[in-house]
């Protein structure tokens, strides 16, 4: 399932239900149209499996109507990219499903998640001051609220930080494998906004390894990054800084020059190159020369 089909109406209903105690009744009217569309989105056979009476609601208002409940459930389903039976006991087509059962751990986790959201929206975000709006004709904006989708982005588990994920890959299988993984994820999720694929992510990944003294991995990552960001002066600047930390002054100079070849006005590289040349002139390379970084 694709998060692009995330239903704005159901999302709003979920936020409101999560944000305000007993809000269900007051928004019933506003919800009805969206909820109806959602009910129709379930096949008649699936719909027939959903009981009219609910027997095990611990968080949702006991008086919630069937269309409202289905709207909430649909919204969770879309936010996580799953089907109803991810949380409920029963087959894909819901034949004979036991919705009241708490057997599945995912259902129990979903309750904790819902409580978390309710606290964040209801206690924390709702207590923030209303945004003042500059223009007179614009109404003041309410504080934002969060939803399941805020974290999950259409996945069972929220996407992890790309840099953490790639760092694990470097440690397990080396920089080459991490670059392959980056390429794969980028092809797959380019437009989904799930991961930050900008150059800064790969530079941050490399910096993490350089900081632990693993210059080899850092340089291999930056080298792999050229496939995607070969025109970027800051990538070559990062390479230059890594080589400098490694006390490879000639290498560092070559990298800074590569950075300037891509953008002659790129200030960090200009400055670093100037300082590096002054250093090389003044003192023949010695141990410890690299301790003072050119900045």
Near ligand HEC by CB under 6 A, which window of 4-12, 26-34, 142-150, 222-230?
Answer: 142-150
- For ligand HEC, the closer of residues 7 and 204 by Cβ is 7
CA distance 106 to 165: 24
Q: Cβ distance 62 to 54 under 8 Å?
A: yes
Shortest Cβ 70–ligand HEC spacing (Å) = 6
Retrieve residue 13's tokens: 């209903």
Shortest Cβ 274–ligand HEC spacing (Å) = 46
Work out the number of other CB atoms within 10 angstroms of the CB of residue 263. Answer: 16
Q: Does 109 bind ligand HEC (CB under 6 A)?
A: yes
- For ligand HEC, the closer of residues 49 and 238 by Cβ is 49
Q: Which of 7, 11, 88, 153 binds ligand HEC (CB under 6 A)?
A: 88
Q: Kindly state the number of chain residues that form the binding site for ligand HEC, as judged by CB under 6 A.
A: 38
User: Restricting to residues 61-80, which ones interact with ligand HEC according to CB under 6 A?
Assistant: 69-70, 73-74, 76-77, 80
Residue linked to tokens 């057997």: 103
User: Restricting to residues 42-61, which ones interact with ligand HEC according to CB under 6 A?
Assistant: 50, 54-60
Shortest Cβ 32–ligand HEC spacing (Å) = 18
Contacts of 97 (CB under 8 A, 6+ apart): 49, 84, 85, 88, 89, 90, 91
Alpha helices in 81-147 (DSSP H): 105-119
Near ligand HEC by CB under 6 A, which window of 23-31, 109-117, 232-240, 270-278?
Answer: 109-117
Contacts of 87 (CB under 8 A, 6+ apart): 76, 104, 106, 107, 110
Q: Which residues pair with 89 in a beta bridge?
A: 98
Q: Which of 28, 37, 82, 89 binds ligand HEC (CB under 6 A)?
A: 82
Is residue 143 helix, strand or coil? Answer: coil
With CA atoms as reference, report the closest residue to 142 among 15, 292, 276. Answer: 15
Q: Which of 37, 39, 81, 111 binds ligand HEC (CB under 6 A)?
A: 111
Q: Cβ distance 171 to 218 under 8 Å?
A: no
Shortest Cβ 184–ligand HEC spacing (Å) = 22
Contacts of 22 (CB under 8 A, 6+ apart): 61
Q: Does 113 bind ligand HEC (CB under 6 A)?
A: yes
Near ligand HEC by CB under 6 A, which window of 25-33, 105-113, 173-181, 271-279?
Answer: 105-113
Q: Does 218 bind ligand HEC (CB under 6 A)?
A: no
**CA angle, 155 then 158 then 164, to 5°:** 125
Evaluate the CA torsion angle 221, 227, 229, 230 in order and state its sign.
Answer: positive
- For ligand HEC, the closer of residues 113 and 206 by Cβ is 113
Q: Which of 30, 33, 40, 100 binds ligand HEC (CB under 6 A)?
A: 100
CA distance 27 to 30: 5
3-state secondary structure 156-168: CCCCCCHHHHHHH
Q: Which positions touch ligand HEC (CB under 6 A)? A: 50, 54-60, 69-70, 73-74, 76-77, 80, 82, 84, 86-88, 99-100, 106-107, 109-111, 113-114, 117, 146, 148, 150-152, 156-158
């Amino acid at each position: 399932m694709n998060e692009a089909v995330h239903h704005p109406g159901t999302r709003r209903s979920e936020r409101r239900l999560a944000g305000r105690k007993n809000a269900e009744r007051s928004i019933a009217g506003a919800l009805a149209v969206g909820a109806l569309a959602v009910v129709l989105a379930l096949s008649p056979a699936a719909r027939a499996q959903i009981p009219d009476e609910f027997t095990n609601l611990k968080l949702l208002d006991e008086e919630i109507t069937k269309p409202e409940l289905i709207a909430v459930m649909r919204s969770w389903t879309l936010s996580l990219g799953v089907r109803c039976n991810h949380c409920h006991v029963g087959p894909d087509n819901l034949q004979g499903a036991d919705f009241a059962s708490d057997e599945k751990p995912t259902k129990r986790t979903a309750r904790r998640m819902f409580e978390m959201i309710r606290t964040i929206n209801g206690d924390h975000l709702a207590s923030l001051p209303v945004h003042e709006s500059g223009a007179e004709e614009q109404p003041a904006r309410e504080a934002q609220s969060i939803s399941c989708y805020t974290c999950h982005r259409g996945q069972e588990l929220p996407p992890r930080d790309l840099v953490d994920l790639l760092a694990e890959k470097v440690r397990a299988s080396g920089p080459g494998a991490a670059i392959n993984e980056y390429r794969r994820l980028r092809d797959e999720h380019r437009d989904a906004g799930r991961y930050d694929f900008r150059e800064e992510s790969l530079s941050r990944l490399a910096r993490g390894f350089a900081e632990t003294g693993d210059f080899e991995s850092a340089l291999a990552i930056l080298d792999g990054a050229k496939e995607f960001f070969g025109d970027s002066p800051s990538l070559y600047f990062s390479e230059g800084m890594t080589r400098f930390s490694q006390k490879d002054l000639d290498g560092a100079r070559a990298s800074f020059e590569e950075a300037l070849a891509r953008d002659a006005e790129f200030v960090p590289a200009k400055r670093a190159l100037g300082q590096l040349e002054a250093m090389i002139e003044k003192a023949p390379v010695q141990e410890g020369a690299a301790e003072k970084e050119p900045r």
